[in-house]
Structure 1
Amino acid sequence: MRRYRRTLEAAALATALVVGTAGWASGTAQQPMTGPPPGSAAWRADRSLGLELPDPESASPSEVSAFFGGLSSPQERGLLRRHPGVVGNLDGVPLALRYEANALSVRRDSRFAHLAGRRLLAFDPRGRGLVAEVFGDLERSRRVAVVVPGSDIDAGSYDNPRNPYGTPAGMARQLRTATQERTAVIAWVGYTTPEGVGLGAATGELAEAGAERLVRFGDGLAAEGVATPSVFCHSYGSVVCGLAAARLKAKDLVVFGSPGMRADNVTALGTSARVWAAKDPSDWIGKVPNIRFLGLGHGTDPASEEFGARYVPARDARGHSGYFAPDTTSLRAFAAIAEAGGAA
């Protein structure tokens, strides 16, 4: 009888999740992007320099940085020409080389012609495509921010003129403008995001893979001497940030429109970063049940008092993607966090 009652309770919770989110089945299943950058097999086999190149899968960003620090300029450029896919996406490679390598890769792939002429810190054309674009002077800026997106974002949709404030590129532009261009901002689409409101959005599989990639990306920035960033995490991206929090090099974690961070409270995140949360009253994410059961759901609402995050006002934002709209209190607060490291 007790087992039967537990089964009924589990079924009720699962039903609440499905009904409360308009049906998880409306999404499309996605396979997370894992493993080393494109072209890694040829990279591993390359002995043109008379030495073994760092393994893209096992070498740490600091080890990659140290390796490139010992190369001459002609040696670096030879690797760039032979292996743009690895050089452009390997965390720890000098930033200028990554920009140039990704520009070369974009020119070779007509599907992503819209990315030509951009300063790309990552570009992986496999699957739906991954990309990271830099706005500002990342090498010299004393303040840096990273935007981590939620569902339905990839290399083709991360910058959409019809949604100028709701895509990561639009958010990055708005944040940079709001800081009077004193903050360099990275629009980071470095993981496979869910599509639609499907099981991918309800579970943590894609976020777990994304968290590993985000941590490595942060380590790569640190290895190249980039200032420790404030990380802004939208929607499902906040699940990624929650899972990465304990290992991610960040001075602030700012979540907005979050379904949960897979943690009961700020302490459970295990981070020394300041944690901030915003949710506007009109955001549909407020209708998502904040529970975690049998792998479904992402737990406590980070904007709730019980979670313990610092409050970010968002009363005049509109909907799920309006937090970076011009003249909103949320955008002004985000800019203050990015610039001052906390005073909003």
Structure 2
Amino acid sequence: MRLHSWERRGRRTLVAAALTTTIVAGTAGWATGSEQRPSTGPPPGTASWRADHELGFGLPDPATTSPARVAAFFGGSDAAQRRELVERHPTVVGNLDGAPVKLRYEANVRALKAERERVRARAENPELTQEDRARARSLITRYTELLEPGRQILAFDPRGRGQVAEVYGDLGSASHVSVIVPGSDIDLSSFDRSTDPFGTPAGMARSLYEASGGRTAVVAWVGYTTPVGLGPDAATGRLAEAGAPRLARFVQGLIASGAPRPSVFCHSYGSVVCGLSAARLATADLVVLGSPGMGVDKVSELRTTARVWAARDDTDWISRVPNVELFGLGHGTDPTDPSFGARRVPAHLAQGHTGYFVPGTDSLRAFARIATGDAS
């Protein structure tokens, strides 16, 4: 018997309701996953930046000045002034969307070194607990890795679980740019982990850069607070709502600093962030993979001029998640469903939820063509 679309939607809603009730009632709450507090607002050090009038004029407010005006401000400053700002306010300059890319790299090297010294003091403080000292030692290792020669850190914020963005390729000369937006369980410590590398934004970015033959610069962007585990954060759009304006502003900053409109690749929960920011996201192509939904039922509701693409392999566990929105839970229609209206990306050779950027897969080949403007 063939069901009408409203009947199918009704059945999915009942399934989602039953699933939600079972999980919550059966565990007296969510089985795993802890609620996260999203990082919002301007970068650390903003207060001292706002109070700085040493150059004889006010500095652009990181919270209210558009990336385009930030770019214009730096374009009107000389090398000595820019150097002073990097030396006095590395945490602001390193995270200031619209600031020159190389200046941000330099600022983040300074910020990483300063933060490493701060946690080194904690690691050697006998008054702290053994756990706190161990955490500090782990951060020393992490910051030392990020300071390795050749790494291009475009953003660094140590607050909370930490946020970071790293560039593969040359943003200054690239004719194509891509941005990777990750899903759950990604932060400063895990964005380039050695286990399951192609499930990390750094691994995805590196793989895409190599698959394109270096024809696109790729940014691994961990600029929002991601959900941890399976819990309310992963099932709702709360963290995505906090992350969406940050993603939109980041992309605006890339363009303001001279980069072309990027292609944005959104993995898992990251596609919820991309869906909520789509109307403000200045992107040429919007690609979602392993997506639980984008918060809408069809492409037209995204209010974007970008081409929208969707990939999901048959072995991805995300296919077992009901694609509905109910009582604030769920993220809407499966983007690979024909009714959604996205262009389908082949993913027959990908395996599992994190296999889309594995070398040799049809999905990675398609992503490289999209990223370099060679997709049909």
TM-score by length of 1: 0.94
Q: Is the 8 A contact 1:252 1:341 kept in 2?
A: no
Counterpart mapping for 1:157-168 below 5 A = 157-168=190-201
Q: Find out whether 1:278 has 2:281 as its counterpart.
A: no
Larger radius of gyration: 2
Q: Is the 8 A contact 1:20 1:287 kept in 2?
A: no
Aligned equivalents of 1:186, 1:302: Cα separation in 2: 23
Aligned equivalents of 2:16, 2:204: Cα separation in 1: 35
Q: Please report how far the alpha carbon of residue 27 of structure 1 lies from its aligned counterpart in structure 2 after TM superposition.
A: 0.7
Q: Please report how far the alpha carbon of residue 13 of structure 1 lies from its aligned counterpart in structure 2 after TM superposition.
A: 4.3
Q: 1:30 aligns with which of 14, 17, 36?
A: 36
Give the structure 2 partner of residue 125 of structure 1: 158
Q: Is the 8 A contact 2:15 2:322 kept in 1?
A: no
Q: 1:238 aligns with which of 271, 274, 280?
A: 271
In the TM superposition, what whole-angstrom CA distance separates every residue of 1:1-55 from its partner, at most 9, and x where no partner exists?
A: xxxxxxxx99974332365899844111001110000000000010101111111
Aligned equivalents of 2:203, 2:23: Cα separation in 1: 29
2:20 counterpart letter in structure 1:
L
Aligned equivalents of 1:311, 1:19: Cα separation in 2: 33
Q: Is the 8 A contact 2:366 2:375 kept in 1?
A: no
Q: Is the 8 A contact 2:16 2:322 kept in 1?
A: no
In the TM superposition, what whole-angstrom CA distance separates every residue of 1:160-215 from its partner, at most 9, and x where no partner exists?
A: 11112110000001001111111100000000000001111111110011100000
Q: 2:20 aligns with which of 8, 17, 22?
A: 17
Give the structure 1 partner of residue 147 of structure 2: 116
Q: 1:204 aligns with which of 216, 237, 262?
A: 237
Give the structure 1 partner of residue 355 of structure 2: 322
1:16 counterpart letter in structure 2:
L
Give the structure 1 partner of residue 176 of structure 2: 143
Note the residue ranges of structure 1 that are not aligned, 5 or more in a row: 1-8
Give the structure 1 partner of residue 323 of structure 2: 290
Give the structure 1 partner of residue 110 of structure 2: 104
Partner secondary structure for residue 298 of structure 1: coil
1:59 and 1:179, CA in 2 relative to 1: closer, same or farther beyond 3 A?
Answer: same
Aligned length: 335
Aligned equivalents of 2:98, 2:359: Cα separation in 1: 35
1:10 and 1:313, CA in 2 relative to 1: closer, same or farther beyond 3 A?
Answer: closer
Q: Find out whether 1:86 has 2:92 as its counterpart.
A: yes
Give the structure 2 partner of residue 69 of structure 1: 75
Q: 2:246 aligns with which of 206, 213, 232?
A: 213
1:177 counterpart letter in structure 2:
E
Aligned equivalents of 1:145, 1:235: Cα separation in 2: 17
Counterpart mapping for 1:299-314 below 5 A = 299-314=332-347
Aligned equivalents of 2:207, 2:289: Cα separation in 1: 15
Aligned equivalents of 1:19, 1:238: Cα separation in 2: 26
Aligned equivalents of 1:126, 1:63: Cα separation in 2: 26
Q: Please report how far the alpha carbon of residue 341 of structure 1 lies from its aligned counterpart in structure 2 after TM superposition.
A: 5.0
2:202 counterpart letter in structure 1:
A
TM-score by length of 2: 0.86
Aligned equivalents of 1:247, 1:32: Cα separation in 2: 20
Aligned equivalents of 2:22, 2:323: Cα separation in 1: 13
In the TM superposition, what whole-angstrom CA distance separates every residue of 1:212-258 from its partner, at most 9, and x where no partner exists?
A: 00000011011111011110000000000000101101000000000
What is the percentage of aligned positions where both structures have the same residue? 59
Partner secondary structure for residue 306 of structure 1: helix
Q: Please report how far the alpha carbon of residue 340 of structure 1 lies from its aligned counterpart in structure 2 after TM superposition.
A: 2.0
Q: Is the 8 A contact 2:264 2:287 kept in 1?
A: yes
1:64 counterpart letter in structure 2:
V
Q: Find out whether 1:48 has 2:81 as its counterpart.
A: no
Give the structure 2 partner of residue 6 of structure 1: none
**What is the alpha-carbon root mean square deviation over aligned residues?**
1.8
Q: Is the 8 A contact 2:23 2:31 kept in 1?
A: no
Aligned equivalents of 2:13, 2:294: Cα separation in 1: 21
1:19 and 1:256, CA in 2 relative to 1: closer, same or farther beyond 3 A?
Answer: farther
Aligned equivalents of 1:121, 1:145: Cα separation in 2: 14
